[in-house]
């Protein structure tokens, strides 16, 4: 019975997350609540049409803005890759929201599925060919991150320490909110992601926060 209960709970939680195609089909009529819980900076790199925004990492801002949503109507929620929206959705369910649907993989998955965004500033993406050329010779550490990404900021001193210890390694930054084509080509789906290349060949890869690279 206990195993069945766990299975039921797992299925219930999983049912709250849908892929980009299902998410798009669900919000197409335009009369839904779409909630972007990224930072304002991230929001300005492109967001879903009619999305409301509140930074989940800012408690006061988040709690002030979320109270203007209708708890009795479904909320479709997303962030960059799914981490913050999962926490925000859990908080909302615990605080009376009847149905909160999460975009699995966040707006990264949405963009990589070829779905449209609006409000993005006209900043040119890094070309995949240019990226390949940059990593073709020598040792290159690719840092897939963003200034508005909290774990990326936490890794900044670790990255600096690594580079000071490895003088021959060159750093190449890939913007996690903009360079989607490059991210897709190297299968980088979360921030931060660090990949070391030697003469164009991947040597190692790490995702997330570490004390040392």
Catalytic site residues? 149, 152
Query: How far, in Å, CA of 32 to CA of 99, rounded?
Result: 12
Residues ≥6 apart with Cβ < 8 Å to 32 = 26, 73, 74, 76
User: HEC states along the chain?
Assistant: CHHHHHHHHHHHHHCCEECHHHHHHHHCCCCCEEEECCCHHHHCCCECCCCEECCCCCHHHHHHHHCCCCCCCCEEEECCCCHHHHHHHHHHHHCCCCCEEEECCHHHHHHHCCCCCECCCCCCCCCHHHHHHHCCCCEEEEEEECCCCHHHHHHHHHHHHHHHHCCCEEEEEEECCCCHHHHHHCCCCCCCEEEEEECCEEEEEEECCCCCC
């Amino acid at each position: 019975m206990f195993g069945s209960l766990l299975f039921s709970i797992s299925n219930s939680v999983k049912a709250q997350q849908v892929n980009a195609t299902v998410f798009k089909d669900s919000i197409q009529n335009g009369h839904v609540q779409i909630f972007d819980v990224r930072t304002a900076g991230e929001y300005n790199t492109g967001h879903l049409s009619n999305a409301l925004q509140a930074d989940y990492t800012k408690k006061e801002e988040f709690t002030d803005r979320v109270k203007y949503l209708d708890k009795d109507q479904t909320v479709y929620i997303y962030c960059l890759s799914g981490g913050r929206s999962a926490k925000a959705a859990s908080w909302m369910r615990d605080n009376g929201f009847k149905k909160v649907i999460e975009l699995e993989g966040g707006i990264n998955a949405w963009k990589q599925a070829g779905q449209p965004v609006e409000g993005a500033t006209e900043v040119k993406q890094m070309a995949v060919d240019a990226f390949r050329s940059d990593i073709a010779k020598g040792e290159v550490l690719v840092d897939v991150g963003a200034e508005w990404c909290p774990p990326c900021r936490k890794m900044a001193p670790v990255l600096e320490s690594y580079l000071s210890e490895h003088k021959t390694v060159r750093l190449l930054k890939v913007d996690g909110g903009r360079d989607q084509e490059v991210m897709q080509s190297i299968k980088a789906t979360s921030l931060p992601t660090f990949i070391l290349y030697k003469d164009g060949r991947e040597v190692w890869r790490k995702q997330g926060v570490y004390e040392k690279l």
